[in-house]
Amino acid sequence: MKQQPKELWEKQLSREYLYRGKIVNLRRDLVRLPGREEPASREIVEHPGAVAILALDGERRVAFVRQYRHAAGRVLLEVPAGKLEAGEEPLQCARRELAEETGCRGGEWSRLTWFYSSPGFCDEKIHLFLARGVLPGELAAADDDEVLEPVWLALGEALRLLQEGTICDGKTIIALQFAASLKV
């Protein structure tokens, strides 16, 4: 894909923080659009980044977590995932999050891809990993503000739930599409 020349991009004029939180910050940038006099406003959610894990055991079952998501207003079935801590490498974070949310450890790990969760307003970058042959283990104590249930599904069943729309979380959809295309 051919890049547009930089003179056709937006130019940032100013930045103002409207909110600074535990997980996200909200800022408003004023930008100049190519060929326009009046500045435009961009509201940006800053996020430290995250990981998501497509974890399979020796029987090709996929590890999920079921949890209520307040923003969605419902319980979702998702692949294990979590926020990067300051200075933490994505693979280290992925191993930690998988153990915390499912109790699983070990396996053969590889990086699948990374993607922006919603680049129209958020800079969150999610690193997606594949962990094959993970072994069950002791479930760690959940974070104080987290209630989740580990769930194992056969890959075929997970793909069926994806097709019927039961699985509707973006990172989980991408992970399962990788699983189908790679025939893991």
pTM equals: 0.92
Question: Average pLDDT of 81-108?
Answer: 96
Give me the residue spans of the domains in the chain. Answer: 6-46, 50-182
Cβ atoms 63, 102 nearer than 8 A: yes
Complete DSSP assignment for 29-54 = EEEEPTT-SS-EEEEEEE---EEEEE
pLDDT at 142: 63
Complete DSSP assignment for 88-104 = --HHHHHHHHHHHHH--
pLDDT at 18: 98
pLDDT at 8: 72
> Closest Cα to residue 11, out of 42, 28, 34?
34
141-169 pLDDT, tens digit per residue, is: 666 778 999 999 999 999 999 999 999 99
123-132 pLDDT, tens digit per residue, is: 999 999 999 9
Considering the domain delimited by 50-182, tell me its CATH architecture: Alpha-Beta Complex (3.90)
8-67 pLDDT, tens digit per residue, is: 789 999 999 999 999 999 999 999 999 899 999 999 999 999 999 999 999 999 999 999
Question: Average pLDDT of 74-87?
Answer: 97
